Amino acid sequence: MLDLEGLQLTDEERRLLADPLVGGVIFFARNYQSREQLAELVSEVRKVRPGLLLAVDQEGGRVQRFREGFTRLPPMQRFLDGYRRDPAAALQLVTDAGWLMASEILAMDIDFSFAPVLDVDDDHCSVIADRAFSDKPEEVASLGRAFIAGMHEAGMAATGKHFPGHGAVTGDSHLVLPVDERPWDAVAARDWLPFERLAGDLDAVMPAHIVFEQLDSHPVGFSRFWLQEKLRGELGFDGVIFSDDLSMEGATVAGDYGSRAELALAAGCDMVLVCNNRPGALAVLDRLRALAPTPSVRLANMARRGHPDWQSLEASERWQRTREAIAAFAPGP
């Protein structure tokens, strides 16, 4: 999965997307000007390869790539106070929020948003913080299940991130390789718990670029221990495993771009992401041509399961009610 440079597809990108080793596109804020422009860009991508998986990070709060013309969702932690006051009402609203986010993305003919964040945090980790539902694992699991249910009601596959939890380290894995020094018991009692409880609800998982040094010497996304023994084996997870972005600093320990992709796939990832570095993406394609990997059959499960049109969505009572409720219950992004 790779990214695009701007608002329109370039000739080079058309050639890249035609390569059978490219399986998806992730959109960023730089690819968005208006819903009309995005619809045209998506249409152009679909003309090149109708079966490509199209994705975006549309979590809410700080991480919402499409803003003007879309519902501004709050950071997920904004729902927490309401959940502690009135759990049933908050869970219904979080379900509706998951449905609304997914419905708006699907209406643009994009397959999925990489959501929800299942890290356990409040403000310990700067890159997670209020992206997390809570700093208590049981609350993350409960609120995360509600958000996933809403995504599924809309017809969108859900991706839990960042397995097995990014919230207990201070370092931002975009900038450094964080090291978690805790023993297994401490990880299992906190960060692991939401993934353990929601493994059967999730369609995909994205591992963290973190080393849990008492458990394995490799970052999670390059670790057979984490992806095969713990995720596939212990949790019985049979969904898609996406690497986190191989351009992040936390991935550099695995070597050059080709080596990072090879190690991630060998560890058990079904698809690798290379964002914001076109030479890196080209290097990965060169390595994959030499490896000739068999495409993962699991990836087909990430394709959109519904495709509402925007006009019908705006006319729906649930969309209107949810927007109003979010503004009143969790105001402001």
Q: Three-class SS of residue 211?
A: strand
pLDDT-based confidence at residue 250 (cuts at 50, 70, 90): low
Question: Rounded to two decimals, what is the model's pTM?
Answer: 0.95
- Higher-scoring residue by pLDDT: 170, 230: 230
Give the pLDDT of residue 259.
93
Give the pLDDT of residue 201.
98
- Higher-scoring residue by pLDDT: 333, 182: 182
Average pLDDT over residues 278-292: 94
Give the pLDDT of residue 91.
97
What are the residue ranges spanned by the domains of the chain? 73-273+294-329
Average pLDDT over residues 54-65: 96
Give the pLDDT of residue 172.
56
The catalytic residues are 174, 244
Q: Identify the CATH number of the domain defined by range 73-273+294-329.
A: 3.20.20.300
Q: What percent of the chain has pLDDT over 90?
A: 82
CA–CA gap between residue 21 and residue 285 (Å, rounded): 7
pLDDT-based confidence at residue 14 (cuts at 50, 70, 90): very high
Give the pLDDT of residue 79.
95
What pLDDT digit, counting tens, does each position of 124-175 carry? 777 888 999 999 999 999 999 999 999 999 999 999 999 998 866 765 555 5
Mean pLDDT score of the chain? 93
**CA–CA distances in Å: residue 251 to residues 128, 204, 223, 290, 291:** 18, 20, 12, 21, 20
pLDDT at 244 over 90: no
Average pLDDT over residues 73-101: 96
Q: What ranges make up the beta strands (E) of the chain?
A: 24-27, 53-56, 58-60, 63-64, 112-113, 159-163, 179-180, 204-207, 211-212, 240-241
Give the pLDDT of residue 333.
47
Sequential DSSP letters for 225-289 = IIIIIIIIIIS---SEEBPPPTTSGGGGGG-SHHHHHHHHHHHT-SB--B-S-HHHHHHHHHHHH
